[in-house]
Amino acid sequence: MSSYYRRHARIFQIAGLLYLVPCSYNPETDQFEQKLPNRLAFAFGIIMTVPFWYFDLKFMTAFYLENISPIMAAVGCIEIAVYVSIVSCTLLNTFGRRNRYTRLLNVLFHADWLLDRYESIEKDYDNRRHFVTLMLAVTTMVCCNMLYHRDMNVRLLSLSVAMKIFGVCYLTVVHRICVGAIGLRMKQLRAFCQLHQVRRQAREQTVRYFIERFEHYANQLRQIDYCFSFPLTMIILLVLIEMVYLLFDAFTILEFGRPAIMENLEIDYVQWSLRQLWQTIYGAVVLVTVTGCQNTCEQLQLTAQVVQHFHDEKNRNSRLTKRIQRFLLHNLDRKRTFSACGMFDIDYAMLHMVFSSIFTYMVILIQFDQLQPDRLPYTNVANHSETLH
């Protein structure tokens, strides 16, 4: 395996046990393989989703849906549905695409004798810091909630939600590592071309190596979309709903000058602060995903243009020139952005779309909530994350 994989080997080993990826690396065959522990992890995960469904639905309904207005309850039902199904849907998606996952990982992390010599570039794609930061943030928040909440039911529900957030963060980092593998190879290809650009006698061989590897790794962009699009779409939907609740909560703060209060449940500033910290984790998940995809897309575009430097203006009918022209024409129609189920691209434009949607939905919710004839006052409409987190 490549040194890039070795940097993140521990992350993938645990991901295999959680069935976030359906295979594990076998050092004897130097390949990713679907092993018995991976199948057992899938079976155990599916079996455990049933009691978690019952537990989450029971306590989320009791703590949340009974205390809010009908319009907010409708939105709350959507959020609860996403929460309770995100684990099972992710496991089923991984199982259904297990063969594609295995082929993808074997391509992305297999040793490449030509490009692995530029190992120093990998430092820019070391995601262990992102992983540790997210895991420490989740662990710290869980500990704070366990210490603060006294009710055992609230503690259990908070722990259940924290486990789902842990899985969301973990899947996000795994996706970023896979995306980064393509960006890394593109950057290594540019270093390879720059090194061999001055050697005119080896230009044709250099262009052949370049095009073969560019096509090989660039084609994995579509495979990553096939494998990760469905769970990523659910994660983005969850983040969108959570951010709407965050802004709605901020509205109540600005309107009344204090945190919202639900019936028979006072929410102090400590609880409100904990809730806002939880929301920052959702924002971090989106940023980690978008920045990783955007960086790789930029590397693809920059690398595709490098081959132009080998173009021979003096001999436009040469075999080398024609091959470069065919590559550049083919690259015009190439998919160069990551997407979520083909509905939208995962790039900086997506951030604008998400934030625009958040403000739009928040305004709609406030307007509909105000039209309720017997609605609860805004001081009774609190972000349910208080009880969940």
pLDDT digits (tens, 9 = 90+) for 347-383: 888 888 888 887 887 777 777 655 555 444 444 444 4
Residue 338, SS3 per DSSP: coil
Position 283 in a domain: yes
Q: Which residue do the tokens 């609740």 mark?
A: 245
**Where does the pLDDT of residue 260 fall: very low under 50, low under 70, confident under 90, or very high at 90 and above?**
very low
Position 383 in a domain: no
Query: What is the C-alpha to C-alpha distance for residues 208 and 213, in angstroms, rounded to an integer?
Result: 9
How confident is the model over 12-50, as pLDDT tens digits?
Answer: 999 999 999 999 999 988 899 999 999 999 999 888 887
Global confidence as pTM: 0.85
Position 378 in a domain: no
Query: What is the C-alpha to C-alpha distance for residues 118 and 189, in angstroms, rounded to an integer?
Result: 9
CA neighbor of 259 nearest in space, from 388, 389, 379, 377: 379
* pLDDT value at 276 more than 50: yes
The total of structural domains in the chain comes to 1
For residue 247, give its domain range: 3-371
Position 33 in a domain: yes
Buried residues in 153-177 as b, exposed as e (16+ CB within 10 A)? ebbebbebbbebbbbbbbbbbbbbb
Position 316 in a domain: yes
Position 387 in a domain: no
**Could you tell me the two tokens for 218?**
């660039």
Residue 334, SS3 per DSSP: coil
Position 384 in a domain: no
